[in-house]
Structure 1
Amino acid sequence: MVLHMEPHLGVPDRGQTWASSKPVGHVAARPVHSRIVTDPATGNRYYRGRLLGKGGFARCYEMMEVSSGRMFAAKVIPRVKLTKPQHRDKVEREISVHRVLHHKHVVKFEKHFETEDSIIILLELCNHQSLAHLLRKRRVMQEADARCCLRHILLGLQYLHARGLVHRDLKLANLFISGLMEVKIGDLGLATRLRPPESRRRTVCGTPNYLAPEVLERRGHGPEADVWSLGCVMYTLLIGRPPFESRDLEETYRAIRHAAYPPLPPLLSPSARSLLTAMLTQQPDYRPTLDEILTHDFLTQGFTPDRLPLAFSSVPPVPSAKTDHSFLRRAFDALFKRKEDGKEKVKHEEGDVKQFATESGKNTLACSSQSSASDPQVNLCDESGMLVQGPSKPPVSQFIPVKLSGTSPVQMGISKGKQSMYLLFSCTRSQVVHGER
């Protein structure tokens, strides 16, 4: 009796295997298709691993080169799906466009080859999947991290536009996160050459929630359509849902035509509101250019990390504002409780707590205690609230770094002499983002 064992990733099988649950001769054996794919031009063999995603024409798999162990993302397009000549032309256009692109924030094209039944495009493997996968875990993104994503995307878009290309399908699922937590633009299947306004393409293409009004109305579209889609991406990162999403597709299209998205929440910073309003302008001529976006206050004011934190790949969803307030109250109750006359009494500055929780909105609190007694460089706060430095004052305070999304990081100085709280805006954004998250 011969049984077929499914190979694990990294342990390729040796070709076609015959499988049968009964002795040979009782039942006709049936072939099991091999996971090994061979490039007929070079003879290189590749082992197909897990499915990463799928679209209308193609499926994307992890694929390992057997000889070197290198990993790729392989876009596999079955020939049976290419039923019309324009389908084949589309694939060839994608290959010709993508193979000459080399930029830090564009997914790298490695090579392509054809087998008897498929066209296979090998691309750079982005280990942390896409922004769509990330947002399913986090629900919303803090403004500093959204700035990081936007900056990466803008740099990649600048490169594409400078080479006369319009992406036309910018969305979270096509923005991938590398092993170094950098955002890269991928899936150039709908990318097209930039043309003069009078001869621009009028094809309706893209994803409904991210379509620009001029694309939907077949007015001819150019790089301004990418700016609109980028505005939809920014809105989705900060709010947690696309701006024009609805249950009815016609309602979505109606909202896009009139640029009618839900009011921006007041918890967004003024610069974020300003940039979103500018990018989601109905008339393409009034939208900012990529250069203007890069110099906008939202991108230039406030801390912007060089890359996304590695913890993003495993953190739980962001709690709601109600949860934040409840957590904050419990944290302060635990910190300020003391026993007097055999009874526990809680003394805290309730007004400061409520204001602190209200201003944080949907923010997440991530605390880790840190003693100041052994560190001569830590900032200390005396009972009057004055900031003192170093060991010249007795270590009467303990500091807890606190990370609030959309705001500057703070340190809470908790005086042991009095049940008082002081908020000291004394640590940099970088210290919290990269040190305490």
Structure 2
Amino acid sequence: MSFVICIAMERVYLLNNLNKKRKLTYLLYVVTMTHVQELSLNQCCVCLSLSCNNILETNTDNVFSVIGKGSFGKVFLAKRKHDEKYYAVKVLQKKIILNRKEQKHIMAERNVLLKNVKHPFLVGLHYSFQTTDKLYFVLDFINGGELFFHLQKERTFPEPRAKFYIAEMASALGYLHSLNIVYRDLKPENILLDQEGHIVLTDFGLCKEGISQTDTTTTFCGTPEYLAPEVLRKQPYDNTVDWWCLGSVLYEMLYGLPPFYSRDTHEMYDNILHKPLVMRPGASGTAWSLLQGLLEKDGTYRLGSKDDFNEIKAHNFFSSINWDDLEQKRIPPPFTPKVSCYCDISNFDPEFTDEMVPNSVCWSQEHSIINASVMEADDAFVGFSYAPASDDSFL
């Protein structure tokens, strides 16, 4: 039975009973779900298929795999059944988001993801959709694992390897800044490696849109180890907080810990605010010059404060980098993750991959088409759903 025929009676009734705003939301939802036809978590673990009353039908007899966790939910490996392409499905709990009043950050993440398609070092969004209690992002599956995972195994990276990663990160941040987006959460956990060894920036939940070179914001957010001094002081800040984070990640790759790290959070904050950056052996003079520029406590004098990414590119530390070649991925990565197949999850932390995925990750039979379409009663996530104009845009 065709999709149109099998839902016609139910949806005509529903549309007649919705106001204009909800009709538009519902129609976008319908378009989205015609694209999200068949996904299976890990190796055919969950099938998402269209039917009259059950859009997403869960096969509970198979094995699941978690590949990541966050504050609001988890990330799963998925396979689209009809073409066997793999995706990362980020599933977020609406209740937690609403309780913490974080819906604006989630909608900002969705908006930023839609702008990422033109950059090689930013993860891409294929679909977003929702149920009564969950939000779903269907993203590129990047199978080389988190940079954090590799850094934990190796403790530190040689300077040439760190330089390669930092250059690709800087390129990604520069692109976001060109769109007036501040990332605000650069850290090894949010940086993935693809199967060739290039970095891919992910997790845009703390991004702030509409911040140009002359604009500021004041929201206190980020990860404690990587917070810039102006954020801790609760002063207005701009996109130079991203360059502070870049310096912190470079330092961590070279020395194994963020520059002002302490197990005591209050002591660490005091270090960030007041402790000088002391030069340590093991890195070149140009590396230290870059660190000093990026980790300048006064944001108005920080490297990147005057001409943003152009200042970073021009630093002597990157004198050997051809930026056009870098962004075209013509520079061979210094490290290639061991990947046996597209669905290889060996580069992800066993803390995640050993965990069983609950059946509730997908829609079960009690989630009817009518329930799904009126899920936005509080209007918190209106406009969240997205599907590309055609499969050609992403397959």
TM-score range, shorter chain: 0.5 to 0.7
Q: TM-score, normalised by structure 2?
A: 0.66
5 Å-filtered alignment, 1:15-26, equals: none
CA contact (8 A) 2:86 2:141 kept: yes
Q: TM-score, normalised by structure 1?
A: 0.60
Query: Which of the numbers 290, 300, 305 marks the counterpart of 2:319?
Result: 300
CA contact (8 A) 2:197 2:337 kept: no
CA distance change for structure 1 residues 311 and 56 in 2, over 3 Å: closer, same or farther? closer
What is the match of residue 141 of structure 2? 125
CA distance change for structure 1 residues 97 and 197 in 2, over 3 Å: closer, same or farther? closer
CA contact (8 A) 2:177 2:212 kept: no
What is the match of residue 128 of structure 2? 112
- Which amino acid letter does the alignment assign opposite residue 278 of structure 1? G
For residues 9-44 of structure 1, the C-alpha deviation after alignment (integer angstroms, 9 at most, x for no partner) is 4233xxxxxxxxxxxxxxxxxxxxxx4445789957
Shift of 1:159: 0.8
What is the match of residue 3 of structure 2? none
CA contact (8 A) 2:121 2:168 kept: yes
Identity %: 28
1:11 paired with 2:11, answer no
What is the match of residue 52 of structure 1? 67
What CA distance in whole angstroms lies between the structure 2 residues aligned with 1:99 and 1:40?
A: 28
What CA distance in whole angstroms lies between the structure 1 residues aligned with 2:146 and 2:208?
A: 22
What is the match of residue 186 of structure 1? 202
What CA distance in whole angstroms lies between the structure 2 residues aligned with 1:125 and 1:245?
A: 31
CA distance change for structure 1 residues 159 and 198 in 2, over 3 Å: closer, same or farther? closer
CA distance change for structure 1 residues 153 and 138 in 2, over 3 Å: closer, same or farther? same
CA distance change for structure 1 residues 273 and 101 in 2, over 3 Å: closer, same or farther? same
1:78 paired with 2:102, answer no
- Which amino acid letter does the alignment assign opposite residue 166 of structure 1? V
Shift of 1:147: 1.1
What is the match of residue 160 of structure 2? 144
Unaligned runs of 5+ in 1: 1-6, 13-34, 316-437
What is the match of residue 332 of structure 1? none
Shift of 1:85: 8.3
What CA distance in whole angstroms lies between the structure 2 residues aligned with 1:97 and 1:8?
A: 25
5 Å-filtered alignment, 1:317-332, equals: none
What CA distance in whole angstroms lies between the structure 2 residues aligned with 1:295 and 1:196?
A: 21
CA distance change for structure 1 residues 198 and 71 in 2, over 3 Å: closer, same or farther? closer
CA contact (8 A) 2:88 2:140 kept: yes
Shift of 1:45: 6.9
Q: Which has the larger radius of gyration?
A: 1
Partner of 1:241: helix, strand, or coil?
coil
Higher RCO (C-alpha under 8 Å, 6+ residues apart) = 2
1:283 paired with 2:305, answer no
Shift of 1:275: 0.7
Shift of 1:70: 1.2
Unaligned runs of 5+ in 2: 1-39, 340-345, 348-395
What is the match of residue 63 of structure 1? 78
- Which amino acid letter does the alignment assign opposite residue 180 of structure 1? E
For residues 304-353 of structure 1, the C-alpha deviation after alignment (integer angstroms, 9 at most, x for no partner) is 953232157899xxxxxxxxxxxxxxxxxxxxxxxxxxxxxxxxxxxxxx
What is the match of residue 181 of structure 2? 165
Partner of 1:310: helix, strand, or coil?
coil
- Aligned pairs, number: 286
